Amino acid sequence: MPNFSPSRHRPAPRRTEHSSPFARAFLLLLLACGATAAAGRAHAAATATPPVVSNDPEAAALPAARIDAALADYRRWLDRIEERNLVAGLATAVVVNDQVRFERTLGYADARSGEKVGPDTVFRIASLSKAFATALTGLLVRDGVLSWDTRLAGVLPFFKLKDAQASEQATVRDILGQRLGLPRNTYDRMLEDDVPYTELVRRLDEVDMACGVGACYGYQNVAFSLIGDVVYAKTGDFFYHQVEKRVFLPLGMHNATYGRESLQASRSWAHPHRRIRSGWAPFEPKDNFYVPPAAGVNASLRDMEQWLIAQMGGRPDVLPADLLEVLHAPVIATPSERVATPWRRARLKRADYALGWRVYDYAGETLVFHAGAVQGYRAMIGFLPKYHAGVVLMWNCESAVPSGLMPMLLDKMLGLPYMDWAGIDRPASRSVDPPRLKPKRKRRS
């Protein structure tokens, strides 16, 4: 096979009325395969039994009256957020048993022009993108194109870690399961400062290992994105194109794209906003963290509804049940997640990372979850596989208030004691308004 040299990810041509709807941004010029690697591997065992994820639609059912009450409360909480202008714009949906039971948008896609957020308004979804990368990988594994245990060094000639043995051991499962052994968020700050991804992956061999491959959790964006290089090497096709063909198109995710140019070419897109004295002010999105596998997806609420249905087993023609079981199976324990926020401290009995997903023991129930954040955008998605019930939220500012809504809704659905995780019960005052924020680096979610 030819030996390609990596170069910086290049945007695809901007979409126009006369171009294909799948001509997306962000072509990945990646690498082809090289020499084979030696054998050897070490796996670490978790100290407790991970939660079991079930995709059986007959597993259980939440009481209908409880769901109705939860949705009524959710509507009321969103009303408070809208009345107090706590977000620039927001889109959210609740799916139960493959049906969209609730859909709501509020606020502005662009406060300057007055354009409102709608169900087809496109947001950056940041690290929620990782699950699209793992889903594509799983489909390629089913096709026999690669395996979860494909060694990176056998496919990517440039891949090296500081520990030579670790370089030979590292597999696809290790990078997608966040257990490569590097310190958390390796090179994220440099990626934020617009250092090219292709330069950073060639410098992984300068980083001291935090542990052996497979032995500890260390969340990554740069190393995770190596899956894009692997996909190109194994298929000869660009990563973003494979996701469009295998996931976006068959699921009917008609607004989903990769890259900043495609975001801004969307018919309706949510501008990032910052808080000002008179309300909210839009600003231009940055290319930062538009590394496709880790954080490159743009999607609308309608797109994410279809994605949520598929992840809960409602589209076995696209994502079969046996594949979902693999994607949602815990790979490495993440004990620090249990104390990351008040609702996690109160509700989580265990936290693990799967393949592009977090898996929590949420008050005795399995919750499959992920959050994402880049400058001016936040997103959350989570579902209870046992009950086929899930929620997605996206908002275009750095307010922390909406991040408490998901656990509040889950509490209500599960019949748990009410807790105001979003802080919306407090009297309207400056204390509950989102603060005016300086531009931040990507939150490591």
Instruction: Name the band, by pLDDT with cuts 50, 70 and 90, for residue 445.
Output: low
Long-range contacts of residues 427-434, Cβ cutoff 8 Å, at least 24 apart = 428/84, 432/84, 432/86, 432/401, 433/84, 433/85, 433/86, 433/275, 434/86, 434/87, 434/275, 434/397, 434/398, 434/399, 434/400, 434/401
Q: Nearest to residue 271, comparing CAs of 165, 359, 375?
A: 375
At residue 270, what is the residue type? A
- Reported as a single tens digit per residue, the pLDDT across 67-115 is 999 999 999 999 999 999 999 999 999 999 999 999 999 999 999 999 9
pLDDT 10s digits, 196-225: 999 999 999 999 999 999 999 999 999 999
Distance CA(94)–CA(409), nearest Å, equals: 10
Domain membership of residue 155 (yes or no) is no
Tens of pLDDT, residues 332-372: 999 999 999 999 999 999 999 999 999 999 999 999 999 99
Q: For residue 316, is it within any domain?
A: yes
Is 381 part of a structural domain of the chain?
yes
| Mean pLDDT of the 12-17 span | 33
Q: What span, in angstroms and rounded, lies between the C-alpha atoms of 284 and 266?
A: 15
Q: What phi and psi, each to the nearest 5 degrees, are found at residue 280?
A: -135, 140
Residues 6+ apart with CB under 8 A from 169: 40, 41, 42, 151, 213, 214
d(C-alpha 293, C-alpha 368), whole Å: 19
- Asked if the structure places residue 186 within a domain, the reply is no
> What rounded mean pLDDT belongs to the chain?
87
Span 410-430, pLDDT tens digits:
999 999 999 999 999 988 754
Is 38 among the domain residues? no
Give a yes or no: residue 226 inside a domain: no
Residue 442 is predicted with a pLDDT of 45
Mean pLDDT score, 372-392: 97
The model carries a pTM of 0.86
Query: Residues in the chain, how many?
Result: 445
Count of Cβ atoms closer than 10 Å to residue 68 Cβ: 11
Residue ranges making up the domain that contains 291: 64-125+254-414
Report if residue 428 sits inside a domain: no
Residue 56 lies in a domain: no
Counts for the chain of helices (H) and strands (E), in that order: 15, 14
DSSP 114: T
**Number of structural domains in the chain:** 1
Is residue 119 a contact partner of residue 412, using CB atoms and an 8 Å limit?
no
Distance CA 374, CA 239 (A): 21
Q: Which of 232, 29, 258, 215 is nearest to 146 (CA)?
A: 232
Q: The domain that contains 260 carries what CATH number?
A: 3.40.710.10
Which residue reads 């609420």 in tokens? 301
